[in-house]
Structure 1
């Protein structure tokens, strides 16, 4: 408690008296806003407080279903911990819809009351913690827009339990609460009757509508229909392709982003004499024809269908199924130049023979392909088909940011447990269709709900039998469901889709047939009852609900997460991060700010653990995965990719490749590419640069290497000028460290042999730098070697953008012990003897594995512990006393001019990298000598002390490390 009060006092002093006060304090008052550029939202802080509270009270005038959805999984996790809360709201202005009150009734650990206080318009959230209260008060109601995107001002305050301010708020709340009415089913029914009579549409939260230009049916108004902002940008890029003399273009656009309208706008601009639009399913034709007619205008007879049942072959704008037009007798009805503009929808299917027949037959002036998923596993190279001309590309995350899609709330929920075992890859069918599992599924889909008046859901199952056997079980519980599989006819599928859209069905259960090529905009709930085998399929299935529709404000995605080895694909799919870097995947679990707009990603606590377990156990560097990514990128760019291509195309992190194969040349040999040869020494030089420079963690070496690739030598003073221009830290110790790296003297003997032993760069008489003679000769005579060198440096420059050049270490980036030795300007790599800490060159890096492995010997299983975001209780090595020289140095760090740096990793599953949490100072008042027991139960001395952090640890990272989980 004393520690908390000191921290609070420092926080208040900095917040209200002197912003320059040297101690930050983790409880300082903060302004909470929604800032897209900074990835800040009010919701983030609210969830942080909620997840770590012991009880909570909300006083909010307005609540929407979407706002409540952002908290549902968190309320459920708190319920499992026995934590309860209260929400006070009202019927002010009849903003709150009856359905939101029904959703509130589902949350069993939250009591809700309605106040009749006139003009009730409060917006406050109070959280009770072990040592204090937190308050968030300001302009944000409990709506998704207020918590994530609107321009809002909220103040977050922290108070001791005896503080006056918190009691003012609590007393106000209790005063209104005691006279408020309990929310009941009977009250909701009564309110619903009144609500329907008096509701004023102007006070509704918002109704999602299709853009007005998409609703016009008037031919006269066709030219008034204008493309949206993203479509305008796309049209310019498509035109640029044509202006460059190219006659093919590929559009890669997420499902629901308006590819058809984009194509229609481009056709309008191109003004072809005749156009052919090819699809693979007949039911898509009418919709495509209708959309084109709205944009292009013209008489009805200009628009025709060519399919099994229609043969309007003379139409100016012809919409055809590939099955019909690819028939020999149909093709011969047309001249080769009959159409000057041809479009193929879902063009990733164009590897089929039927498509090739059509493509080879016609000779259009421009050929356009459209797809949401260009990545294929069938060896068909869609990029090659379009001469590698990507006219336009927008993926899921960008489309959400531009508000082109229906927002979604994703819930990763825990699948059914049987006898303590969660469903996994080997679970037999009988368990998948067990009565108890069905009850579990129903419980989740009812709790997480849907937007709109009635559910229109798709349930994706793992196998046909599962879908077919779940239907009668769900129907017996009062649901109206059917199963659709590949065995069902096209007519049956269309019938069932119409029934779902018209409210005659609640759910269609299927396996894979609805992954793509089906358009049901009114779908408001997507349920995934199968493991994620592919990021592509995951996004395809999630995308079934992402089309905007007037009947819904958002779509609910409920993903049942079992004990599946491929669970690591979920954060990969949601983030679009293909780096295969485990640290990136973990970060995308603990920070989902890559999901823009009001959409959210939520995981129940047990489901989170299943995913982290899968990340830890997965082998993301196995050759199969790396080769697939390599082939995909090679197909995309039409040549052997270099490391920089992986970076710019957001593919595999080059570090992943070189850490496994030493350098990229070795990887190319492994994937059986025919590449020029390298000498043994050239290979070793590439290995050194790949393993030591490519990570981009210090810019100084990169700058020097970069200029020497093009100049024979670099004057010493010129190099210093270049560093100053780049705003880099320039001092003797850092320059000496750069030399030790590049002359290899920093490294161990084993490493020097691996890197070729010779100094790569030499400083001659303090006047100029140059490469050694062997490298200069290789750069001159071996173009391939030079290209590989340039590639490494170019990639390193790109990776360096996340680091600052004027400080050695960046907060919250990850570093190894070896990195610390290098970046703290140690003369040699002493990582093998650092163990937990080491003092050298006026620096003391401390490395902490927060959650020790059970097998760790007790004498080294130190009890290091964060007391809060500002204070770390730290233990020295065992067999150390207050008289030990190394201990005295650290205790007197300030007097000895020693910088103490704190590096922490959650556990050993995170590998050899540690998060850098900044500098810290030992609190001399807390230094204590105590004892711990070794493996023989013998007591041995150890010293512990509190390390006061220079900066409060980021809250998300703090809870991730401390709890072994995410906020």
Structure 2
């Protein structure tokens, strides 16, 4: 079959046939019904059992998708990846079925059929079947667009936690508004306040795609040279991977290009086309004699010196295996896109470069804990934007916190964002627009980016500003790339005064002359907020400073957002909730008195640290679909895990406080509380205590507390501390430690006896930890039944966390000395 085919009935037969031959099955439907799931489950289960990769994306638009259908998919397809598009009330209507087969035998079906029995069998539906042999480029483009939507920040993983949340929202939505009424009301709103008409954009003389190459070899700027020096030290220390944190505007992509001078072939991975194209330009300005190409939906370059790859395209097993694992000497991973982290991990596990470099501009984004983990805890250098301003590398700012009297407490919170329809009802008001305009006119300079919470808000505000005589326009994610480039050119040239946007200028777009930022949306992500601030801090001729106009109301995170203007402490910690930041002398920080009172009141009403820890725990549990383990909480939760032992004594004490433990688990906590707190709090200048405990745990749940001699532990102890380079550098990088790198049972046994075993048994908890007659043991009340496994598991979780945290902390201190 090589021609397009129109399917007007019995789509189910085509889905079954194509699923039987597919290695990858990717479906996207606006609505999912139980009747449809029952029809497709038999052949989807067969494909899953055969090893096919299955990704299913459906939406919550109008809460039409049936919870029973989603529950059936979860239960019957445990190996499939299933995600839910959180529409926030905005239209979500795709219907597409993609099948990737062997030897480029792929098929794409697009049309009108959702996942319901009638749509798949006898309903009046039109669908078009396009084989890749008819047009492979269309299939590849569809695949790329599917993955972008699948891993979009508006999606969440479907799991028991998120399913329970959807069930509740579904019940509430259909209780308040009958199905037919909800549909007509929503569609009417969409038609009246939709994305708006296309705006005419004049041609300009700037073309960022074809900037001429410099005749003189480019040289690193000071921040980049500092980072290159730090990477040089890292390589001298025999690390093969590292992360670099450079504030927006310091040129992290050019840094990677300069670093690439040490390598022959480079793979640069990112999640957005704009980032890849700008990266290519940067690399070719530094390496004018190198070949380059893209590996994305449109192009599949595999032989160039520099390959710039979309993680969505490269993440496909079919595409990844076009390369050999050792094809590249250097791999550069740009900002992790959090939802797509598993895709990045698959790619990184597959390739075997000489060096892996992670680059990011936002050290506090939770994604970078994953980057940190894949870089073996090695942060070569970190430069905060406040330090860069003090050094004169970024523009100073004048911040104006303007009071927003909107009552956000009345708006429903949908887990990750406010209900869009309820939020719009408050935002799309003339009096609200007038207040924003007044604040803008009072503080603005010449070129402004306005950050909005939705396309409809951006359209409404743009219309209001244009009526007041401001030369402005709207840009958003669906605006064509060429149109976006022309608009940013016009802003750069001064032909436009303002661009209203929705999450478009977070990363990958540089307009140095922007000198005013206007925030008219609730701050939901401190990471995104940091990225957006960076859009105004680049240096430019004639630009003395950036004005930041920030409307602050009683929305979530309002009392913590100002922490982004605080440099982190020695180990990356923040000072806490609302405290007016100590910004550089060249900057100004101004808050309306009403804003100061509001933030203090918000901070007063909550127990900051405990509330933050518990909220972060439940957010992560929702994301994972299960209770996070302690190390997972440390690596992935939006919280400072050091506060756990300070506030609750132990992670499991926190779970007790959160009401998360069963009756049996509560008994274990009460009976062994002192032991868990001891493992959590025992002093550790070296990792040795926990390494001994880890060996004991290796003997299994029933025997781990039994006595052990130093000689028995020695092989495990030596192997653990020498198998990873960073462990050697942290705990064996001393005169005494150097003597342990080569295995010597007698010498290592003496060390184990003299240090971890003697020191721990001599602590305050000597009644639990005993070292007598050269035998080390842990004395605890004998557990029974389920308690055996729980006591073992919780001890192991705590030991693993403490070891990871120990090496992470020590490496940061070492790197602070390097910097």
What is the TM-score with the length of structure 2 in the denominator?
0.49
What is the TM-score with the length of structure 1 in the denominator?
0.42
Structure ID, larger Rg: 1
RCO higher in 1 or 2 (8 Å CA, sep ≥ 6)? 2
User: Which of the two has greater helix per residue?
Assistant: 2
User: Which of the two has greater strand per residue?
Assistant: 1
